[in-house]
Amino acid sequence: MRALSTLPLILGAACAAAVLGFAGPAAAAATASDPLTAADNEACLRCHASADADEMVDVDGEQESIGVDREVYESSRHGQLACTSCHIGFKPGVHTTEQTDGWVETAMIGACRDCHADIFQMYRSSFHGELVFGQSNGEAPVCADCHEAHNILPPDSAEFRAGIDDLCAECHEYELQTYLDSYHGKAFHLGEEKTAVCSDCHGGHKILPASDPESMVSEENLVATCAQCHPGANENFAGFLVHVDPQDPQSSLLVWVFYAAYIMLIAVVFTFGFVHSGLYIYRGFKDGLYKRKHHG
């Protein structure tokens, strides 16, 4: 949340800069003949927003559409930016290999870094950033995986928050399920907007494992993280297990014991009730008790 709360300010500043015709480093990277303002996007949208722009192209082995929804883009956070702010070096007409080479990385990471340098630094030092840029060469989300390319939403908007569960669950399915079984998750699932979502506790750009002291969910910081919404939170309070599966004894033995005991109690009571009621009704029919006149 702390990381996220600074994002709108920075994005706002970036937008303001763009509107004023000062597109920052992106402008410097582009050549003088390139269209740089949103007004010039017409040249791009003529093809990419046309009805037959559902053509698929091969992007690093995956089929992606070249289509852009004009309305969605123009109402997005970056709607006033030139296409070439991110698609650096692209020119109208059929794009040459020279233009398209490596454009995915440029558009999805590089272009963002040019304006949002400090956020990029946070991301770079995060668990996700380290996977992407570090030695391990692992797979992790980059900017556009969470923020999308053409439909960038303010990160504190209800619409963006409502979709966070699916974003994180692409890799963290178990954590999503246990979250959804907690009160926060249940309320979130049923449409409550004022409840903690993944990023409220784990952060947005600087997500770190709990073992890292700088993490929002580390022993050192957890109480403060809870206290964002629960003033007066104490160490015991922070000991509440958000990601616990009551059906799994390895998750928390204590919780499982109560769960298992209740399931057995419910099974016994319901079975007895079912048999008792069933036999009572059976005997009632057999003895013709239902045919008699009862209470007025």
180, 212, 218, 249: which one binds another protein (CB under 8 A): 180
SS3 189: helix
The candidate with the shortest Cα–Cα distance to 196, out of 148, 243, 235, 236, is 243
How far apart, in whole angstroms, are the C-alpha atoms of residue 45 and residue 150?
Answer: 12
Residue 282 in contact with another protein, rule: CB under 8 A: yes
- Kindly tell me which residue out of 246, 248, 249, 250 binds another protein, with binding defined by CB under 8 A: 246
The binder of another protein chosen from 8, 74, 244, 249 (CB under 8 A): 244
- DSSP letter for 289, please: G
| Closest CB 240 distance from another protein, rounded Å | 4
- Sequence letter at residue 265: L
Contact 65, 124 (CB under 8 A): no
CB closer to another protein, 46 vs 276 = 276
Q: Is 241 in the site for another protein (CB under 8 A)?
A: yes
Position among 9, 21, 94, 294 found at the interface with another protein (CB under 8 A): 294
Q: For residues 123 and 143, is the Cβ–Cβ distance under 8 A?
A: yes
52 near 58, Cβ under 8 Å? no
Burial 24-33 (b: 16+ CB within 10 A, else e): eebbebbeee
Least Å from the CB of residue 124 to another protein? 33
Chain residues that interact with another protein, rule: CB under 8 A? 180, 182-183, 186-187, 189-192, 194-195, 230, 232-234, 236-241, 244, 246, 252, 254-255, 258-259, 262-263, 265-266, 269-270, 272-274, 276-277, 279-284, 286-287, 289-290, 292, 294-296
